Amino acid sequence: MTNKTNQWSATHIPDLTGRTAVVTGANSGIGLPAVDALARAGAHVVLAVRDPRRGEAAAATVSGARGTVEVRPLDLADLASVRRFADEWQGDLDLLINNAGVMNVPEGTTKDGFETQFGTNHLGHFALTNLLLPHVTDRVVTVSSNVHKVGRARIHFENLKLTGEYNPVTAYAQSKLANLLFTLELQRRLGLAGSPVRATAAHPGLSSTNLANHGANALYRAVARLANRLLAQDSEAGSLPTLYAAVMDLPGASYVGPDGLGEWRGGPTLVGRSPQASDPEAASRLWTVSEELTGVTFPEHLSPTTEPTTENNQRGAITR
């Protein structure tokens, strides 16, 4: 799927002076150039990172920005850390970018006992979003991956930990499918509540980052490094779909990715998703399970009151 957005760049981001954004996993990969672009557009950007020391080093590389940057600790693999971050938040939050993630890592669990990739990539962001939602005024963007289409990727509701059948790619695909189902159900709930906030999703295509350096086996890591050198676009280009999903006038639940062959690289545009990622029943079921696992629910003040409308689901871009 292509359109005329292939020349879109960070210079097209509207003026964000006076706006506040949070970017998780912002100290490297596509997160840091996203921070840089938002700060250059005038936003105050919070780098929500697991290692504050690395976060401060990353923040120091942001130069020429009209906005400001700040570092706050956040470990998405620890729900106590997620709650602390949310409890300490004060004031409006215009934009939440759920960017952090782990990829194809060896079998393991988070501090709360969840499978590492599902717990970090989905449950951590699920809890963070719902806890911060009372502050959010405009947009929630969640970074997924086209790996959600691999094979017969699905949510293993009967065995979310993949106990006895763990495969790093299967677990990663499950977590990235969960990101899209989360976006779908979040938008449905926001629409029913008559909220002006929109939920969107994005994927970076094949982007040269260090995400694959922690793969579960040496062969995978070697192939990933070779692909990064020969095929991948740089992290700045990889951040563009996220930024496009964050600031452009798009319908709720939109999914943005590169417009090139196989969506590996190119300019940001609306892209398709798998049938499994478009299943409202699976999205609703995943939401219920996620609430049970995290103990975090959709904010009471946003409880559904009306049927969703076109106006609610297609609010204007994040402009002043």
As annotated, the active-site residues are: 172
CA max distance for the chain: 52
Angle at 261 between CA 257 and CA 267, to 5 degrees: 40
CA-to-CA separations, 216 to 164, 267, 316, in angstroms, rounded: 16, 31, 42
CA-to-CA separations, 222 to 41, 171, 216, 248, 308, in angstroms, rounded: 37, 20, 11, 37, 47
> Residue 202's beta-bridge partner residues?
143, 256
Query: Who's near 52: CB < 8 A, 6+ residues apart?
Result: 71, 72, 73
Helix (H, G, I), strand (E, B) or coil at 220: helix
**DSSP letters spanning 15-69:** P-TT-EEEEETTTSTTHHHHHHHHHHTT-EEEEEES-HHHHHHHHTT--S-SS-E
Minimal CA–CA distance to 79: which of 27, 133, 126, 41? 126
Distance CA 153, CA 171 (A): 9
Burial of 297 per CB tally in 10 Å (0-12, 13-18, 19+): middle
